[in-house]
Structure formats: structure tokens, C-alpha cells
């Protein structure tokens, strides 16, 4: 897992006590809101009440637009609602079409095809509308960049009312009216409405009052489009979620039934179940059936179309998985070649899903990524880009603008089209640009932590109260909390292929970490850690207990991972890691990442002590110099002697008596007898003979040992071989057969 840089929010001011009491704010919520500088009564009211809905006539051109629409209705002029193919687009179409139908309008709707027409106003579609007698076009969730197409509509005798929320260019199109929360001549109190939010404001103005039955569509489009979950958006979504749970629209109910979902609908339900299904249709085909589903009142017909929409989503997931697998292979090659701005391109990658693929690549490698589909027939590459906080995707592409036919986007994402033969040039250019910005520094993922809490904050009631802060979304994310100085008491891998990590702390906090099962090799029982993540309640067999979903886990101390006396398959993963090895001086160095005991090792995050050291002093010399954050202990030794130990002095005496009785001993003939007599292993017998050789008690010629007739008295324990074995036994006892805690205490102590 990539290392994360934690950014803990500073609390400058806290919520006054009277407001804490008034809104019954828990200790955790108090810390979260204070860290986000939400401390005034007005701000707290936006969080804990339904919030404020603004007068639609505060939007510039609203009165002009309503007058024109009502005139079209009064004169039975055909009206065309022109939408977009994503969830925000189809919900926008639904809200406005239903509104116009309720007012008796002659209304039709049109959603362009992503692949054949692309995003926004389409000249051919506008000409077709004119041929069919349309007199008024109302765009929803698009149009603000459609200068040429709107000029064409004007020439054809059609008025165009633009309702949009996307970025406004340097000039405005020549439309009859423009309803946009950021209109340069307007002063609307909230500028971050989704496309469907703008459509709902038009609906409100036309009807004279808001139709709450349309709020579920507003909620779905707003959440799916990832606009700011603050201010009026928050107020709209809160109201919409209530209705979605009480009386959901027929089409949404059918979609949830098809997804086998029966729980409470919240922002996560929309973000992970409803939104992706509505988006899937437009990603793969014509988005019309998604809009048709939302407009239905017949449950049976809705169930039939929901089944089709769900099938599109299944197909979308399969396509994304296939492309992601191929893109990951290409990404690995690019990274191995030194690229840090990934440009991945291939023929037959579906243009509708490459943005999702780019997001997955960024999630895994934390590198800015462009994923392109190559169309050799039309000689262009088209795709999407996703970035990381530290790198602006818009600025990166803007400095290579001459290589790109068309692009648009912002800091974190972009879409583009370019000639195929410009792909390699673009890749080189943006990688050079990235290196100029970074100056060799790594791109480290960042995690914002709202507040550091204590274990006594973690109660069932406090976690339940976190739901009072919902809905979460852009600019108001689900709180990420830090819990420091926790000690792991239990840890194991769970799930298919041991993909996830489940552990418990000494303070009795249950934790889950998704897709990080491999971290079991870095965080062992007894490791003190800091945790960052979200809190939830776990219900099991009627019991409710706190649980943390950990997003990141760090240890300020060096992590010691114990692989001593274990099967090599346990640490086989190390061959794929960037590690430095410390080995016995008798072993060969395979490359520059191998070091002998006694040598200085620095500049490596991960160190593997592969072999048992030749001496404690050499071990300490190397160990004290390392600056790694993870240390793996293997301490391999082929022929261990710890369990055989040191032969007793009595056994040495018995062996000497054998020489007295038979001054010449042939190991080939007599070795077996001596082994049985002394009850030792062959290697130990050879050791005992080497001790007598050291003391000049015997002489050796091949496998024959002969007693020295002139022996001078000497202490067996003074033998070089004896002292060497004694040292080896101490090293094995220290490095192989102590507990991990004993070993850590011994090697970090100054007394040896």
C-alpha cells in the first residue's frame, strides 16, 4: 500500500456551549464540525435542519424564461427538452418534461448519443427539431458552450432557453434566456446547483410552488454529479431522501428491486446503486431508456425497463473490469520505464467507461492517468483523465494544448480528443512537465483527518449521532477520524484470497481494512499504531458494537516483522518488494541491494536480515545505521545447533577414554560406534574431534585420528572450536529462539 501523508485539521474555534446544548451535539460531532469551521448558529442550522430553498426568481433571466415557456404552452407551440446522457442529464429531462406535461405543454425530449453525437447541443438534432415544427428548445444540464448550435437554432426560427450549471466561457451563447446559477449578470445565493437543480428551479417558477414529487430526481442527479453537498444542494437532497424512502418514484422503486436493495436509501445508495445504473446506459448505448424509466407510472413496465437498465450496468462492470486489467498491465510497464504521468491507449477500449478505468488506475498507483480509446477508422484517440490532489490535470494538458484537438476539465479530471500520432508526444511532454513540477519528489497520497478522538468518544450513541451530519458528499465528505497510540492485539486476513484485514486493538476496538490483506506482513500483534478511518456500528446476533473502517494505518516506530523459523512461502512476497538484504559474509552478493553484516545500510525503507549474523557486534553495527521503517527478520541458518547444544564435559571424557583404549580411530570404521556411545549427531562428533585437535590432543589424517603420545594439560573450554560453537549457540538463542519482544529489547539495548 502507498504511504499516506496525514493532514490533521486544526481546530481554530469551537462551537459555543449554548449551541452544543441546543443542537444536542455529541463530542465526536463537535470535533468534526469545529475542524470544518462550522460553528455559528446559521451554519449549524444548515446541518441539523432541512436547510433553505431559495426563490427561483433570484436566478437571472428566470422571469423572461417562464414568460416564454408559458407563451409556448398557451399557443400550443411544440417544445423540445434537450438533455444529456448521464444521471444528472436524465433526471433533469425528467423533472422538466413532467413539469411541462402537467401544464399541458406539447413537449418532447431528446438525449444525444455519447458515441455518435457527443456532449452538448448538436446542430443536426436542432435542424431535425426545426423540421418537426419545434419552436422552443430548452436545454438541461448543457448548452452553455453551444454558441454555434444556438445561432443555428435562431436562424431556423427557434428560441433556445439554456438551463445549465457547467463552466461558463468568456462569452455567453446568443440564447433567448440563460438560467445559470453563476450567470455573470446574476447574483444567485448558491452557485453550485447540479443541472437537475437548475431544472427544478425552473419547474418551481413555472408551477408557482415546488413539486416535492420531483425531489427524488433532484436528489439522484445532484449526488450522482458530485456537486457540492452544501447550502441549497444539501437542503434539496435532505428533502429528496425523505421522499425516496417514503414514496419513491415508480422507476426508482423498480430499479432498487432489480438491484435487490431493500434498506434505507441514503447518499451511498444513490452513489453506488442508483447513479451507476442510470449512468451505465449512456456509457454503453443510447441513454433514452434511463430517462424513460424515470418518467414511468406503470410498475409492470417500469420493472421490465429496470431489468434492461440493470443488464447495462452488469455489462458496464464487465467491460470496466476487462479494460482495467489490460490497462494495469500497460501501467506497470510505463511505471517500470520511469513514467509518473501515465498515458494508456489501446484500440477498442469503450470511450464511455475509460474515465472509470482511469479512476481505478489512480486509486492503485496514485499517479495522474489518461486512458484513451484509439479509433483507427476515424484517426483519433478519445478518452478521459483523472489526477491526484498535487497535480492539476487541466494545467498539465493546457501546456500541451497544441497536441490536443479538444479538451475540457478541471483540477482532478478532464476529457479529450487528439490525433493518434500525437499520443507519444503528449506522453513525453506531460511527463517532462511533471518532473519540472516535482523536482524528483515523490507523489505521496494525502489523507485529510477531521479530528483526533479518544477511545471514550467511541460509543454506540456517538456513532449513531454521526448520521445526523448526513448527507455526505463533495465539500462535506464522510468524516475521517484519527485514533492514536493503539496496540494490535489480534490480526488476521479475511475474505476471498485473504484480500482484507481484520484486527482488534488492546482497547477492544474492532477494525476492518478493505483490500489491504497483505499488510499482515507489516503489522503484527503488539505493534503500536495510529489509525485513520470512519466509524460505524456492527450488528451481529442482536449485539451492536463500534467498528472502525480503517483507511490508513501508520506506526511511528520501526515495524519488526518476524519470519524466523517459518516456511519460505510465508515471505515469498519479498521477492516482489523493494528491499535491501543483509547476509552472512560467507554468502555471495547478488546485486547492489545486498549487504554484509558490519557494513552500513541506509536509504532503504525496508530491510531484510536474511542470514543469521556472524557476530553480535557486526549485527549492531549494521542495525544501528539503518533508517528503514520496516525490518524483516528471517535469520536463516542451514545447520542449526541450538537443540543439540554443547556436548557435556562428561562426553568429552568418554571420547578421550576411547582414544586411550584405541589410540588410532578410523571414522569410517569406528564413527558409528562413537555416535551411538556418545548419543550425539555426526556433526557434533566432528566438533568434539576438532576441539581435541585445537588442544593438540589428537592429530588427523583424512578420516583417521591418532592420539598424541605427549599431551599437555589444557582446558577444553579454551579451544577455538569450543568458543566458536559457544558463540554460535548464543547467536542462535538470541536471533532464532527468543521471542520477538525479547529480540527487540536485546538489540535495541545498549547493554550487550
pLDDT at position 639: 86
Residues 608 and 742 both lie in one domain: yes
H helix or E strand, kind and range, residue 71: helix 62-74
Residues 401 and 468 both lie in one domain: no
pLDDT digits (tens, 9 = 90+) for 195-209: 999 999 999 999 999
Residues 199 and 246 both lie in one domain: yes
pLDDT at position 549: 96
Residues 427 and 345 both lie in one domain: yes
By CB neighbour count within 10 A (0-12 exposed, 13-18 middle, 19+ buried), where does 167 fall? exposed
Residue 579, pLDDT > 70, answer yes
Residues 410 and 540 both lie in one domain: no
Residue 222, pLDDT > 60, answer yes
Residues 385 and 486 both lie in one domain: no
Which of 416, 438, 460 marks a domain boundary? 438
Residues 469 and 488 both lie in one domain: yes
Q: Quick check: is 298 in a domain?
A: yes
d(CA 726, CA 734): 12
Q: What is the DSSP letter of 270?
A: I
Q: Quick check: is 534 in a domain?
A: yes
d(CA 357, CA 327): 8
Sign of CA dihedral 410, 414, 415, 420: positive
- Higher pLDDT pick, 692 / 5: 692
pLDDT at position 18: 95
The mean pLDDT value for 584-608 works out to 91
pLDDT digits (tens, 9 = 90+) for 92-144: 999 999 999 999 999 999 999 988 888 889 999 999 999 999 999 999 999 99
Q: What is the DSSP letter of 167?
A: P
pLDDT at position 749: 64
Residues 131 and 206 both lie in one domain: yes
Q: Which of 165, 160, 220, 169 is nearest to 188 (CA)?
A: 165
Residues 75 and 91 both lie in one domain: yes
- Higher pLDDT pick, 1 / 729: 729
Give the confidence band of 439 by pLDDT, cuts at 50, 70, 90: confident
Q: Which of 145, 151, 193 is nearest to 169 (CA)?
A: 145
Q: Quick check: is 317 in a domain?
A: no
Mean pLDDT score of the chain:
93
Residues 564 and 515 both lie in one domain: no
Report the CATH number at residue 351: 3.10.310.30
d(CA 139, CA 120): 9
Contact 51, 488 (CB under 8 A): no
Q: Kindly report the CA angle at 33 between 31 and 38, in degrees rounded to 5?
A: 140
pLDDT digits (tens, 9 = 90+) for 446-505: 899 999 999 999 999 999 999 999 999 999 999 999 999 899 999 999 998 899 999 999
Residue 224, pLDDT > 90, answer yes
Report the CATH number at residue 509: 2.40.50.460
Q: What range does the domain containing 667 cover?
A: 649-731
pLDDT at position 169: 81
Give the confidence band of 408 by pLDDT, cuts at 50, 70, 90: confident
Each as own residue / partner, the long-range contacts of residues 699-704 (CB below 8 Å, 24 or more positions apart, any chain) are: 703/666, 703/667, 703/668, 704/664, 704/665, 704/666, 704/667
pLDDT at position 248: 96
Residues 673 and 691 both lie in one domain: yes
Residues 518 and 584 both lie in one domain: no
pLDDT digits (tens, 9 = 90+) for 63-104: 999 999 999 999 999 999 999 999 999 999 999 999 999 999
- Site of grid cell 444542494: 233
Number of domains in the chain: 5
d(CA 121, CA 137): 10
Give the confidence band of 559 by pLDDT, cuts at 50, 70, 90: confident
pLDDT at position 444: 84
Amino acid at each position: 500500500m502507498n504511504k499516506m501523508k496525514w493532514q490533521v485539521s486544526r481546530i481554530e474555534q469551537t462551537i459555543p456551549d449554548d449551541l452544543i446544548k441546543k443542537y444536542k451535539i455529541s463530542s465526536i460531532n463537535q470535533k468534526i464540525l469545529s475542524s470544518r469551521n462550522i460553528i455559528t448558529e446559521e451554519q449549524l442550522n444548515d446541518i441539523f435542519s432541512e436547510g433553505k430553498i431559495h426563490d427561483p426568481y433570484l436566478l437571472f433571466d428566470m422571469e423572461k424564461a417562464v414568460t416564454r415557456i408559458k407563451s409556448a404552452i398557451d399557443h400550443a407551440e411544440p417544445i423540445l427538452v434537450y438533455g444529456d446522457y448521464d444521471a444528472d442529464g436524465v433526471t433533469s429531462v425528467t423533472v422538466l418534461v413532467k413539469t411541462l406535461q402537467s401544464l399541458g405543454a406539447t413537449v418532447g425530449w431528446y438525449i444525444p448519443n455519447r458515441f455518435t453525437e457527443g456532449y452538448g447541443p448538436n446542430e443536426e438534432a436542432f435542424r431535425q427539431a426545426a423540421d418537426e415544427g419545434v419552436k422552443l428548445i430548452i436545454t438541461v444540464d448543457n448548452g452553455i458552450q453551444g454558441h454555434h448550435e444556438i445561432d443555428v437554432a435562431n436562424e431556423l426560427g427557434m428560441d433556445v432557453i439554456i438551463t445549465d450549471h457547467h463552466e461558463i466561457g468568456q462569452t455567453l451563447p446568443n440564447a433567448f434566456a440563460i438560467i445559470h446559477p453563476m450567470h455573470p449578470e446574476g447574483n444567485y445565493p448558491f452557485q453550485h446547483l447540479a443541472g437537475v437543480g437548475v431544472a427544478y428551479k425552473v419547474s418551481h417558477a413555472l408551477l408557482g410552488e415546488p413539486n416535492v414529487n420531483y425531489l427524488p430526481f433532484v436528489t439522484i442527479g445532484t449526488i450522482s454529479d458530485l456537486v457540492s453537498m452544501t447550502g441549497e444542494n444539501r437542503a434539496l437532497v435532505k428533502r429528496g431522501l425523505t421522499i425516496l424512502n417514503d414514496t419513491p418514484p415508480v422507476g426508482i422503486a423498480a430499479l432498487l428491486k432489480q438491484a435487490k436493495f431493500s434498506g434505507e436509501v441514503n447518499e451511498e445508495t444513490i452513489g453506488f446503486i442508483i447513479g451507476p445504473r442510470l449512468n451505465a446506459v449512456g456509457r454503453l448505448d443510447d441513454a433514452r431508456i434511463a430517462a424513460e424509466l424515470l418518467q414511468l407510472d406503470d410498475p409492470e413496465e417500469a420493472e421490465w425497463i429496470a431489468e434492461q437498465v440493470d443488464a447495462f450496468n452488469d455489462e458496464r462492470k464487465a467491460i470496466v473490469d476487462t479494460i482495467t486489467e489490460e490497462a494495469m498491465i500497460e501501467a506497470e510497464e510505463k511505471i517500470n520505464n520511469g513514467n509518473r504521468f501515465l498515458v494508456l491507449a489501446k484500440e477498442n477500449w469503450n470511450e464511455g467507461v475509460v474515465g472509470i478505468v482511469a479512476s481505478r488506475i489512480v486509486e492503485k498507483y496514485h499517479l495522474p492517468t489518461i486512458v484513451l480509446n484509439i479509433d483507427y477508422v476515424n484517426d483519433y484517440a478519445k478518452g478521459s483523465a483523472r489526477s491526484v490532489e498535487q497535480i492539476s490535470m487541466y494545467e498539465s494538458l493546457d501546456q500541451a494544448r497544441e497536441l490536443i484537438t479538444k479538451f475540457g476539465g478541471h483540477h482532478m479530471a478532464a476529457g479529450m480528443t487528439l490525433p493518434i500520432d500525437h499520443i507519444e508526444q503528449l506522453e513525453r511532454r506531460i511527463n517532462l512537465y511533471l518532473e519540472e513540477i516535482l523536482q524528483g519528489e515523490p507523489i505521496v497520497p494525502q489523507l485529510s483527518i477531521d479530528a483526533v478522538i479518544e477511545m471514550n468518544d467511541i460509543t454506540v450513541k456517538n456513532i449513531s449521532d454521526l448520521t445526523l451530519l448526513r448527507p455526505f458528499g463533495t465539500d462535506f465528505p464522510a468524516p475521517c477520524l484519527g485514533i492514536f497510540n493503539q496496540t494490535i492485539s489480534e490480526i488476521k486476513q479475511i475474505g476471498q484470497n485473504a484480500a482484507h484485514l481484520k484486527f482488534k486493538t488492546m482497547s477492544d476496538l474492532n477494525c476492518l481494512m478493505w483490500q489491504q490483506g497483505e499488510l499482515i506482513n507489516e503489522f503484527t500483534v503488539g505493534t503500536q499504531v495510529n489509525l485513520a478511518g470512519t466509524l460505524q456500528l456492527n450488528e451481529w446476533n442482536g449485539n451492536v458494537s463500534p467498528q472502525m473502517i480503517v483507511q490508513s494505518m501508520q506506526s511511528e516506530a520501526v515495524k519488526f516483522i518476524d519470519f524466523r523459523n517459518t516456511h519460505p512461502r510465508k515471505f515469498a512476497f519479498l521477492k516482489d518488494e523493494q528491499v535491501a538484504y543483509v547476509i552472512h559474509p560467507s554468502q555471495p552478493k547478488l546485486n547492489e541491494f545486498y549487504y554484509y553484516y558490519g557494513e552500513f545500510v541506509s536509504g532503504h525503507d525496508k530491510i531484510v536480515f536474511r542470514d543469521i549474523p556472524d557476530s553480535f557486534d557486526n549485527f549492531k553495527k549494521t542495525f544501528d545505521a539503518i533508517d528503514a521503517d520496516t525490518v524483516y527478520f528471517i535469520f536463516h541458518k542451514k545447520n542449526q545447533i541450538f537443540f543439540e547444544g554443547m556436548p557435556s564435559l562428561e562426553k568429552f571424557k568418554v571420547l578421550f577414554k576411547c582414544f586411550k583404549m584405541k589410540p588410532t580411530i578410523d571414522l569410517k570404521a569406528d564413527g558409528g560406534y562413537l555416535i551411538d556411545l556418545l548419543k550425539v549427531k555426526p556433526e557434533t562428533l566432528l566438533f568434539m574431534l576438532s576441539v581435541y585437535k585445537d588442544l593438540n590432543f589428537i592429530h588427523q589424517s583424512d578420516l583417521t585420528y591418532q592420539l598424541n603420545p605427549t599431551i599437555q594439560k589444557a582446558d577444553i573450554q579454551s579451544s577455538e572450536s569450543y568458543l566458536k560453537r559457544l558463540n554460535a549457540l548464543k547467536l542462535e538463542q538470541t536471533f532464532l529462539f527468543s521471542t520477538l519482544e525479547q529480540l527487540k529489547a536485546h538489540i535495541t539495548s545498549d547493554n550487550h
